[in-house]
């Protein structure tokens, strides 16, 4: 019986081809809308699976080895065949509107969507407001939604296996307080100052399980209580009304829209980060997805969204996923 042949992931071949054509890892990563570290890992993985060195890397240049030159025409033919297959079966899908969940107005996802519309003026990218990646994931897998944004590590592994993601931003977290709260006068709220407080983080909302889970990790060992499940308030005005009645601080991100009679204060010591990814259904081919991915890369580079100071908090699982391709 012959040994089983390895099955090469087309993504690895695309990584190889981009580097082979650019002869520059940074330019190749930008072309593929991925982090340079992720691209380098894909190339090393392909080299391991083929048992050959494909590039000579120095501090000044990247060059193909003899094995890399030999692989190049095969990689092009394989990827051209895959592109032709996908084009034949997804032509109608590529022409329809792309439905993009931006969660709430004013967040980072809206900025990515706006830039993507500029990059793909011939495509219709329509906003949806699903309020939570867990809820959006179910809609994506059911075909009622195409893309969303949020904490990918907070999804069930069975859901993650059917989705793809691209890191967009490490978003600093904040707390919304009533105007007369005893912490409201501070410019920034140290996490230790929340000890003894009960903070709302979406408990009881089945669409935002990933956010409540992140809060649970953050509050653990700090004496901060997670507010118990409550009826879900739909809409900014209803949310404000319920908060005014309960007077419970709310865990949010720094770009959370302003609400009357409240103040938003960044959290520090350390700065807790909410990892935001662009998420879409595996196998989805649409020019709008390409535009979203490019927009995320451009904005992250311009705004430094994937850089952060040293004194930060982020769960290890999230940090690993944010450094990896889907």
pLDDT at 87: 64
Tens digits of pLDDT across the chain (326 residues): 445 566 788 889 989 999 998 999 888 887 887 778 888 999 999 999 999 999 998 878 899 999 999 999 999 898 888 777 766 655 555 568 999 999 877 789 999 999 999 999 989 999 988 779 999 999 999 889 999 999 999 999 989 999 999 999 999 999 999 999 999 999 999 999 999 999 999 888 889 999 999 999 999 999 999 998 876 666 666 766 767 677 789 999 999 887 888 899 999 999 999 999 999 998 888 999 999 999 999 999 999 999 887 899 999 999 988 886 54
- CA 306/CA 168 separation, integer angstroms: 7
> Using the 8-state DSSP alphabet, how is residue 102 labeled?
-
- Pairing, β 262-268 against β 189-190: parallel
pTM of the model: 0.77
pLDDT at 92: 52
Q: At which residue do the structure tokens 């080895």 appear?
A: 65
- CA 20/CA 23 separation, integer angstroms: 5
Contacts of 297-301 with CB under 8 Å at 24 or more apart are: 297/30, 297/33, 298/115, 299/111, 299/112, 299/115, 299/168, 300/167, 300/168, 300/169
Say whether 5 sits in a helix, a strand or coil: coil
pLDDT at 104: 79
Domains, the chain, ranges and CATH?
10-90 (1.10.10.10), 94-170+274-322 (3.40.190.10), 172-272 (3.40.190.10)
């Amino acid at each position: 019986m012959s040994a089983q042949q390895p099955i090469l992931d087309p993504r690895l071949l695309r990584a190889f081809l981009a580097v082979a054509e650019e002869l520059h890892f940074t330019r190749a990563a930008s072309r593929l809308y991925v982090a340079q570290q992720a691209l380098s890992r894909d190339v090393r993985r392909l080299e391991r699976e083929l048992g050959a060195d494909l590039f000579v890397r120095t501090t000044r240049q990247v060059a193909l080895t003899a094995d890399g030159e030999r692989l190049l025409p095969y990689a092009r033919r394989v990827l051209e065949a895959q592109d032709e297959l996908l084009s034949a079966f997804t032509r109608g899908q590529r022409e329809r509107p792309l439905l993009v969940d931006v969660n709430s107005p004013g967040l980072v996802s809206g900025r990515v969507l706006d830039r993507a519309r500029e990059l793909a003026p011939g495509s219709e990218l329509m906003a949806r407001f699903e309020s939570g990646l867990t809820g959006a994931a179910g809609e994506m897998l059911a075909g009622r939604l195409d893309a969303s944004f949020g904490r990918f590590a907070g999804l069930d592994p069975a859901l993650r296996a059917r989705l793809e993601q691209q890191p967009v931003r490490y978003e600093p977290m904040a707390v919304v307080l009533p105007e007369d709260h005893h912490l409201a006068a501070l410019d920034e709220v140290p996490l230790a100052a929340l000890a003894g407080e009960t903070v709302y983080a979406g408990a009881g909302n089945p669409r935002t399980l990933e956010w409540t889970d992140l809060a649970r990790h953050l509050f653990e060992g700090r004496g901060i209580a997670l507010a118990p499940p409550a009826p879900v308030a739909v809409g900014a005005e209803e949310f404000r009304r319920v908060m005014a009645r309960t007077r419970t601080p709310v865990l949010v991100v720094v770009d959370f829209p302003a609400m009357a009679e409240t103040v938003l204060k960044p959290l520090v010591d350390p700065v807790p980060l909410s990892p935001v990814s662009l998420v879409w259904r595996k196998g989805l081919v649409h020019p709008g997805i390409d535009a979203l991915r490019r927009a995320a890369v451009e904005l992250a580079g311009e705004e430094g969204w994937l850089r952060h100071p040293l004194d930060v908090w982020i769960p290890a699982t999230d940090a690993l996923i944010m450094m990896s391709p889907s």
